[in-house]
Structure 1
Amino acid sequence: MKAIFMLVTFFLMNVYAPEKPVTTVSTVIPICHTPLGSNDMAFLAADPSFQMLHELPAPFHYQGAGEMVSFPTPDGTTASGFLLKSAKKSKKWLLVYQEWWGLNDNIKQESAKLYRDLGDVNVIALDMYDGKVGETREEAGKLMQSASKERLAAITRGAISFVGKDAKIASIGWCFGGMLSLQSAILEQKQMVGCVMYYGTPEKDVEKLKTLNTDVLGIFGSQDQGISPAVVAQFKKDMKTAGKQVTIKMYDAVHGFANPSNPKHDPAATADAYKLSLNYLKKKFS
C-alpha cells in the first residue's frame, strides 16, 4: 500500500506541476544593425523611412528583344538572367543589377536601351531574387532583407562563369543594384573593366576596395535620405585611401530619381546621368 501511495503522489505532482516559461526568440530585424549573413543594405530595407523613399512604380510591361536564360551557381543551384546577345560575336559583357524591386520590366527596358546604345556588347540583367519581384514597398523590403550575401555572391560568380573567362566585364546597377554593381566589380577582379553604381550602399572595407581592377563611376542624389551625401563623401575618402579612382556625380534629386516609373522621376538628371554612364562604358569597352 505504501508503494502504491508513493506512486500516486509522484504522478499527481507531475500532472499539476507549473509549466516552465517558454523563451521566444524575436525574428524582428534590428534597423541599426545588419544581421549576420545579410547584405549591406538589409538594415536599410528594414527601415520604414527608407521604404518610403521609394514611390510605387507605375504599371509597365516590357515588349521587346531578349530572353530569360539560366546558369549554374557555385552553391549547387541555378540562377537566371534576362539576356540580350550581341548580333556580332563579342567578348564584351555588361552585367545589369536590379533595383530593390527585383528584375521587373523596367530593368528589362533599361537593359535593352543599354544594349542598343552600346553596340556589340552582350547585356544580361541578373535576377538577384530568384524569380521574385516586389509589388509593394513592404514586399520589396522583405526581399532585400532576405537576400543573403552568400546567395548574391553565388549568383554573381555564376554569371561570371556564364560569360566566360575571356570576357571583358562591366557592371551597372541602381539602388540595391548600385551596391551589387560595386560588389560585382570586386568579385570579377581582372576581368572587370568598368563599374557604374547609382545610389547604392558603398563598400566600407578599404581592403576590399584595394582589390578593384577598375575605377568607379558613382551617381547619387543630394536629396537622398538613404544613401546620404555624407555616406558618399566617406566612400570617396575610402577610395582615395585604397588608391583607387572614383568619379562622383551628385544631382539635386531624390533616391531612385533615374527610374522612369518613379512618380518622382527626374527626366533631366536621368538623361544627363545616362549620357555620362554610356560614355563611360563605351570607353571601357573600346
Structure 2
Amino acid sequence: MKTLSFFTICLLTGLRVFSQTASCCHTDAITEFATLANREDFRMAHKDPLPYVYQGTAGADITFPTTDGTPAHGFLFKAKKASDKYLFVYQEWYGLNDYIKKQSEKLYNDLGGEVNVLALDMYDQKVATNREDAAKLMQGASRDRLGAITQGAIQYAGKTAKIASVGWCFGGGLSLQSGLLEGAQNAGVVMYYGMPEKDVSKLATLQAPVLGFFANKDKGITPQTVDEFEKNMKAAGKTLTVKRYDADHGFANPSNPIFDSAATADAYGLVVPFLKKAFGL
C-alpha cells in the first residue's frame, strides 16, 4: 500500500510520483497533513479512541509483496464470487484498528459482498490507542513506504482490477493519493476530512470522480482549504462533489467522543450509492 502500472518500470514510476507528492513543499499533501500533529489544537481535536474489539469473522489478515522488498499487511473481505472489483480502505491516524475493520465489513456488506474490500495497514502492524502515539506514528511514516504499500496493493489487486478507495483523517488524504496512483484503474475516491492534493497538474491525472466530506469546525482541513480544493479540481477539469457539515474533524469516527451520528449517517448515505455507481453494481 511495485509495479506502478503493473509493469515493474511503471510501478517504480508510480512510487516516484508518490514520493514527489510528499517532498515538494507546496504540493506535499501527505507531509502537510502530518505536520498538523505539531499543533496542540489539532491533536486535541482527536480524543483517545473508546475501547472496541472487532468480533467479525468475514475478514482475514493478508500479507502481500511490495517493490521495496518489505511485505505489507492488510485485512481482506473477499468478494463472495470471483471479482476484479476492489475497494481500498485507508485508516485514520491511529492505524488499522478494530474500528476500521468493522467499518470495512459494513462497506463489504452494503456493497452486497460483490467487491473485495481491502483495509490497508499503512503503519506496518503498529496501532495507536491514544492521540500522542497516533501523532508519532503518522509523522514517522516514511513517504516512500506509504507509496510502496499502496503500489503493492494495486499489484495485489491485479492489472485488470477496478479500484476505488475510501479513507478518513490521514487516510482521507491517502485515499486521494491512491486514486492518483491507480491511474486508469481508478473507479472513484471517497475522502473524509483528509488533506487535498494542491498540485493541479497531478489532479488533472485523476481518472474518476471524487466525493469529499469536510467539517466546518475543522482546525486542520479548514473551510478555506476545501475552497481551494474545489477551485483546483475545477481548474483540473475533474469531478468533485463536496459535502460540508457543521461538525469538527473526526466527526465520522465512532471511537471519538465528538462522533456526530447524524452527519455520519448522511455522509454514508452518499458513499454507498457513489461506490455502487463506481463499480457498476
Shorter-chain TM band: 0.7 to 0.9
2-structure distance, mates of 1:197, 1:222: 15
Q: Which amino acid aligns with 1:208?
A: K
1-structure distance, mates of 2:208, 2:32: 21
Aligned to 2:197: 203
Contact between 1:66 and 1:83, CA under 8 Å: does it hold in 2? yes
Contact between 2:193 and 2:250, CA under 8 Å: does it hold in 1? yes
Contact between 2:29 and 2:196, CA under 8 Å: does it hold in 1? no
**How many residues are aligned here?**
253
Contact between 2:215 and 2:246, CA under 8 Å: does it hold in 1? yes
* Pairing 1:57–2:38 present: no
Superposition RMSD on alpha carbons, in Å? 1.5
1-structure distance, mates of 2:41, 2:142: 22
Which string of whole-angstrom CA distances, capped at 9 and with x for unpartnered residues, describes residues 201-245 of structure 1? 000111111110011001011111111100000000011111111
Contact between 2:48 and 2:130, CA under 8 Å: does it hold in 1? yes
Unaligned runs of 5+ in 2: 1-24
Instruction: Write out aligned runs for 1:208-247 (5 A).
Output: 208-247=202-241
C-alpha displacement of 1:140:
0.2
Given the superposition, is the C-alpha separation of residues 40 and 78 from structure 1 closer, same or farther in structure 2, using an over 3 Å criterion?
farther
Report SS of the residue matched to 1:234. Answer: helix
Unaligned runs of 5+ in 1: 1-32
* Pairing 1:268–2:262 present: yes
Which string of whole-angstrom CA distances, capped at 9 and with x for unpartnered residues, describes residues 12-62 of structure 1? xxxxxxxxxxxxxxxxxxxxx89x997332211222221111011110000
- The counterpart of 1:93, out of the listed 63, 66, 86, is 86
Report SS of the residue matched to 1:39. Answer: helix
Instruction: Write out aligned runs for 1:1-286 (5 A).
Output: 39-64=31-56, 65-119=58-112, 120-286=114-280
Runs (4+) of structure 1 exceeding 6 A deviation are none
1-structure distance, mates of 2:30, 2:93: 14
- Please give the TM-score of this superposition, normalised by the length of structure 2: 0.88
Aligned to 1:4: none
Q: Which amino acid aligns with 2:50?
A: A
Contact between 2:30 and 2:174, CA under 8 Å: does it hold in 1? no
Greater RCO structure (CA 8 Å; 6+ sep): 2
Contact between 2:29 and 2:197, CA under 8 Å: does it hold in 1? no
- Please give the TM-score of this superposition, normalised by the length of structure 1: 0.86
Identity of matched residues, %: 60
Given the superposition, is the C-alpha separation of residues 182 and 37 from structure 1 closer, same or farther in structure 2, using an over 3 Å criterion?
closer
Given the superposition, is the C-alpha separation of residues 169 and 42 from structure 1 closer, same or farther in structure 2, using an over 3 Å criterion?
same
